[in-house]
Chain A
Amino acid sequence: MSNGFLPTTETVHAESAEMVAETVRRAGSQRSAVYPIGGATALAFGAATETPGLGLSLARLNGLADYPARDLTVTVGAGMTLGEFGRLLRKENQRLPVDVPQAAAATIGGAVATNFSGPRRFRFGTIRDYLLGLTAVDGSGKIFSAGGRVVKNAAGYDLARLLVGSLGSLAVVTEVTLMVKPVPEASALLGVALAELRKADSLLASLVESEVEPVAIELAAGALPRQSPLRLGDGTAAGQLWLGFEGSETDVRWLVDKAAACCRQLGAEPRLIDGAAEAGELWQTLADFPAPDGQPTLTVEAAVLPSQTVAAAESLLKLDGGAAILCHAGDGIIVARFACPPDRAAALASDAREAIRLTGGKAAVLSAPAESRLDRSAVWGPATEALGVMERVKRKFDPQGILNPGRFIFATGTP
């Protein structure tokens, strides 16, 4: 199976960690690359690679190993989809409060490898904050485990955290243990249309002073799709700020009232979404913002200090007024979607990176049209001074350089 992104010659469907290890060892002996695949929702993420190799699907490693729900911990196979995982937790009125795009298909292993997150990041952090331990297979085909199954553990090095966001370049995750949280009683979103984007700054600054603590602070701007539930007002707004609240009924009611008063004080009439279905759809829209929509799109994710969010969003809009932008403003994360023919992607990515650099931040490409074949520097940007030590780590875990070669920040070939 070839998928347009990875030069895979065949795909192995692993049934066990041992089979993963065996596959990696076999590939190693043949000096062939290994491309781990979970839900195949993020194949467009990472640099284009030409090294042919094996696809290694983890989708069948989707079993539940242990769920002592009263401990609020759970151990599952890396191939379990987040959708399935969510349903499992829901039975115990628990959840993993990390928003991963296309959750129905994306897998837990993929979420670890990509470190995707969404609106709730502001209050709940990223998957790293829930990952207690894991089992994985390194580039030499050795199975190892790291961390444990307790919520607090200071023994040894936390190799699980090292694998978060490493895009499968150090090891193939086969099983993870996560800490989970109780499902909150209530959830609501409050939206405000902004005549100009700058207005968001004063609103966000006033939030710091107030006692209002949302779980998500989302700022949407630019050319949102006409039918997007994120849009507010008559369509002339420069942006819309969405504040998400979760907690007990009493808490959410108090927060919504207080936040609404805050908005009115600054001359904005807020819109409240608190019906379960409607709020659910809105959360979903926010979480799925980076997901592909069938059009040729360059999706860039920028990170700046939270106070620079609006400035960074504006600078990206200046590049292309037709971009659609969603900021997780509390964290300084900006996701920008540019309608973009494949041949323009590299130049646009580079312009976006430069714009973000000027606001003190960093940018990476989340996805680009398959045909654009962006290289490492286009996707990840120029090498930083810490790359040297990271390459040393890579060599220790994948001495032959066979895991996802060329897709992450590391050069291909045997180091």
Chain B
Amino acid sequence: MTGAQILIESLKREGVKVIFGYPGGQVLPIFDALYDSDIKFILPRHEQAAAHAADGYARATGKPGVCLATSGPGATNLTTGIATAYMDSIPMIAITGQVKSFLIGNDAFQEADVTGITRPITKHNYLVKDVKDLARTIHEAFHICSTGRPGPVLIDIPSDIQTQTAEFVWPEDVVMRSYKPTYFGHPGQIKKAAKLIAASRRPIIYAGGGVITSSAERELKMLAEKLNAPLTWTLMGIGCFPATHALSLGMLGMHGTAYANHAIMESDLIIAVGARFDDRVTGKLDTFAPGAKIIHIDIDPSSISKNVKVDVPIVGDAKNILGQLLEEIKGVLDTGDWLKMIAGWKKKYPLSYKESGTRIKPQYVIEQLDAITKGKAIITTEVGQNQMWAAQWYKYTQPRTFISSGGLGTMGFGFPAAMGVKVAFPDKIVFDVAGDGSIQMNIQELATCVCNKINVKVAILNNGYLGMVRQWQELFYKRRYSHVCLTGPDFVKLAESYGAAGIRVTKKEDVSSAIEKAIAIDNVVFIDFRVEPEENVFPMVPAGEAINKFIGGLA
């Protein structure tokens, strides 16, 4: 077999169903092998979109997403997508062509040091220098990307390696003396954690993306119910616990609910599960939850005690550890007074926004989207206000239904990610909640969606601004709106020019019928919601403040 054929055969053995990729000079042998392959191939219109689509596919399915690009600019265009996946611990395989191995380092045409460039944004990467190493490398790469704390792995393959031949030998096992993630919690730590829990009167569970990665939502719910403990989640944790549950506090942090933030600040015990105490969550560190002991469950030891000092660290897989904890915890906690206190905050500081006649409030669009899809759609987001409103106002009840660039905050993520999600789940309703700024960062994917009949729906919350930056300028820079005003395009005409459908909505009363219509149309649909231009995302904790110091939005 040639190297290219070995690659395709190895991908098949790994169960790869779809590749998002873009051809070019140094991947021609791979594309020739793809010509005979039954792996589905989606050709986006920009390599960055290939990476985001593979990422979206991975977030929706839990299986590694695969993207492919040529050397040099093809590979560098992938990097934003790779970094996005890295920050959110998403299993992804990026395959790049490289100039012929004997030309590496010669500044050959379309050469870039791709393993060098991607070293800090991949979990691991490889430059394959011998065709005989190819199958084993691919097997290792899939193992690394999907186990432990997942993350993207890049494989750089010089084009001469793609054409050299070798016998295809598929390694059955991956044997790596240097990579052995810990999956079960240390029994001593579990006992210590159970003790802290038994002594707690004001516990709170703080759940992050790790719960979703390890499919621990069932165990998480059992723990919350067993302890009768309130639960809050991070942006990445959305969907790990039903938003409709009585113990749910919604998201915490900078744009979290006031009651979630008050609860974590007043708690006496934080049980952190697969979350990493990010600065958007903790606010000013030395004021964070002063009276709380902390149990921190995470598969990545380097996430523990990185930002906050932890009392009981437990390294391992969330699902296993929660199972171990559930066995260890005897008896119930009396959290009655605590829940009453929280109910008081919920009543005093509900999530809210002000109506304004017939004008469209962006929050209202999300509420209607939730009502019409009954919380069952898969929502992807761009980054900024659209992302926060989609996080706050849609009631997610299932994991892997909110797909958003949390760590890196990549504008232009949502649309191609939605494409990847829809390829994985063609029968689900997939909505990208976008802003008029972000959608233009990968708008060329309209062509990909239309031509492959990937019928995603895009709800553009069009306020004519780069809304979140404008909000910060309004609040912290005396309304000096520096370069945040956007004009055009006509999104309806634009969608139509690609063969998609476009709907414009300017009145509140037309919002729900537009959403219904968009769902009914058997095509890609852009809905251009002309929303209140200067609406802000509230509540808001200014960066670097204690997370119970809110501005705005509190009735």
Does B associate with A? no
Q: Which residues of A contact B (CB under 8 A)?
A: none
